[in-house]
Amino acid sequence: MANRNKKQPILHISESRRVFKALFKRKIAVISAAVILLTIICAVFAKWVAPYDPYTMDLTNIKAVPSWEHLLGTDALGRDVLSRIIYGSQSALVVAIVSVLIAAISGIILGLLAGYFTKVVGVIIMRFVDTLQSIPMTVLALAIAGLSGGGLVNIVIAIGVSLTSLYARVMRGQVLKVKQSDYILAEKMHGAGNFRIMFLHILPNCIPVLIVTITMQMGSAILMEAGLSFLGIGITPPTPSWGSMVQDGAAVLTTRPLLTIAPGIAIFILVYAFNTFGDALRDALDPRIRNRK
Amino acid sequence: MDQQIIMKIDDLRMYFNTNGGVFGNKRKIVHAVDDVSLSIMEGETIGIVGESGCGKTTFGRAILRLYKPTGGSIEFMGQNITDMPERKLRQLRSKMVYVFQDPYESLDPRKTVGSTVGEPLIINHLVRNKKEYEKRIAELFEIVNLDPSMANRYPHEFSGGQRQRVAIARSLASDPKLIVFDEAVSALDVSLQARIVNLLADIKERLKITYIFISHDLSVVKHISDRIAVFYLGRVVELSEADELYKNPLHPYTKALLTAVPIPDPFLEDKRDVIFMDGEIPSPINPPKGCPFHPRCPFATDICRTDAPQLVDMGHQHLVACYASQEGRLPK
Ligand SMILES: Nc1ncnc2c1ncn2[C@@H]1O[C@H](COP(=O)(O)OP(=O)(O)OP(=O)(O)O)[C@@H](O)[C@H]1O
Ligand SMILES: [Mg+2]
Q: What pLDDT, in 10s, does the model give residues B208-255?
A: 899 999 998 888 888 889 999 999 999 999 999 988 888 888 888 888
Q: Of B154, B175, B196, which one is at a domain's C-terminal end?
A: B175
CB B29 within 8 A of CB B14: no
> How much is the average pLDDT of B29-43?
91
CB B221 within 8 A of CB B239: no
> What residues of B are in the A interface, CB distance below 8 Å?
64, 66, 89-91, 93-94, 97-98, 100, 102, 105-112, 114-115, 118-120, 123-124, 133-134, 137-138, 147-149, 151-152, 154, 156, 170, 174
- Cα B272 from Cα B259, distance rounded (Å): 8
> Does the pLDDT at position B266 exceed 60?
no
> How much is the average pLDDT of B23-42?
84
Cα–ligand 1 centroid distance for B54 (angstroms)? 7
Q: Of B122, B150, B175, which one is at a domain's C-terminal end?
A: B175
Structural domain contains residue B223: yes
Q: Of B139, B154, B175, which one is at a domain's C-terminal end?
A: B175
**Alpha helix ranges (H) inside A149-202:** 152-179, 182-189, 194-196
Q: Calculate the average pLDDT of chain B.
A: 86
Residue A263 phi, psi dihedral angles, 5° rounding = -65, -30
> Same domain for B163 and B227?
no
Taking CA–CA distances from A287, the nearest residue in chain B reads B110
pLDDT at B208: 86
Range name among A171-175, A241-245, B20-24, B292-296 with the lowest pLDDT average: B20-24
pLDDT at B313: 85
CATH code (residue B203): 3.40.50.300
> Same domain for B137 and B209?
no
Cα–ligand 2 centroid distance for B61 (angstroms)? 10
Q: A201 — contact with chain B (CB < 8 Å)?
A: yes
CB pairs under 8 A between A and B: 88
Residues of B in contact with A196 (CB under 8 A): 123
> Same domain for B320 and B272?
yes
> Same domain for B61 and B189?
yes
pLDDT at B89: 92
Structural domain contains residue B100: no
Tell me which of B266 and A232 has the higher pLDDT. Answer: A232
Are A11 and B98 within 8 A, CB to CB?
no
> Same domain for B182 and B267?
yes
β partners of residue B75: B8, B80
Domains in chain A, please, with CATH?
Answer: 23-47+71-292 (1.10.3720.10)
Report which secondary-structure segment, H or E, holds A133.
helix A120-134
Interface test with chain B among A4, A6, A10, A17, by most B beta carbons within 10 Å: A10
Cα–ligand 2 centroid distance for B291 (angstroms)? 22
Q: How many domains does chain B have?
A: 2
* Cβ of B284 less than 6 Å from ligand 1: yes
Structural domain contains residue B257: yes
Burial B52-89 (b: 16+ CB within 10 A, else e): ebbbbbbbbbbbbbbeebbebebbbbeeebbebeeeeb
Distance between the two ends of chain B, CA-based, in angstroms? 31
Structural domain contains residue B101: no
> Same domain for B238 and B317?
yes
Tell me which of B252 and B274 has the higher pLDDT. Answer: B252
Name every residue whose Cβ is closer than 8 Å to that of residue B250 and which is 6 or more positions away in sequence: B238, B240, B314, B318, B320, B322, B325, B330
Q: For residue A58, what are the CA distances in angstroms to A71, A73, A251?
A: 15, 12, 20
Phi-psi region of A263 (alpha: psi -120 to 50; beta: other; left: phi over 0): alpha
> Same domain for B115 and B246?
no
Report which secondary-structure segment, H or E, holds B180.
strand B178-182
pLDDT at B264: 54
Confidence of residue B136 (pLDDT cuts 50, 70, 90): very high
> Same domain for B48 and B19?
yes
- Cα B266 from Cα B274, distance rounded (Å): 14
Confidence of residue B171 (pLDDT cuts 50, 70, 90): very high
Structural domain contains residue B74: yes
> Same domain for B73 and B214?
yes
> Same domain for B317 and B225?
yes
Nearest 5 degrees, angle CA A215-CA A216-CA A217?
90
- Cα A81 from Cα B35, distance rounded (Å): 81
pLDDT at A3: 43
Are A186 and B115 within 8 A, CB to CB?
no
Structural domain including B263 reads 5-95+176-326
* Cβ of B32 less than 6 Å from ligand 1: yes
CB B75 within 8 A of CB B8: yes
Question: In the 8-state DSSP scheme, what is residue A73?
Answer: -
> Does the pLDDT at position B151 exceed 60?
yes
CA-nearest of A242, A260, A278, A232 to A85 is A242
Are B151 and A189 within 8 A, CB to CB?
no
Q: Calculate the average pLDDT of chain A.
A: 82
> How much is the average pLDDT of A86-100?
87
Residue B19 phi, psi dihedral angles, 5° rounding = -95, 110
Residues of A in contact with B81 (CB under 8 A): none
> Does the pLDDT at position B179 exceed 70?
yes
Confidence of residue A4 (pLDDT cuts 50, 70, 90): very low
- Cα A216 from Cα A220, distance rounded (Å): 7
Q: A12 — contact with chain B (CB < 8 Å)?
A: yes
> How much is the average pLDDT of B11-39?
81
> How much is the average pLDDT of B320-325?
85
Structural domain contains residue B331: no
Range name among A60-69, B1-10, B58-67 with the lowest pLDDT average: A60-69
pLDDT at B185: 83
Confidence of residue B145 (pLDDT cuts 50, 70, 90): confident
> Does the pLDDT at position B59 exceed 90?
yes
pLDDT at B323: 86
> Same domain for B10 and B159?
no
> Same domain for B78 and B125?
no
Longest Cα separation, chain A:
86
pLDDT at A293: 55
Q: Round the CA-based radius of gyration of chain B to a whole number and report it.
A: 21
CB A247 within 8 A of CB A117: no
> Complex ipTM, two decimals?
0.87
- Cα B138 from Cα A196, distance rounded (Å): 24
Structural domain contains residue B236: yes
> How much is the average pLDDT of A162-175?
90
> Does the pLDDT at position A242 exceed 80?
yes
Residue A160 identity (one-letter amino acid): G
Burial A99-111 (b: 16+ CB within 10 A, else e): bbebbbebbbbbb
> Does the pLDDT at position A126 exceed 80?
yes
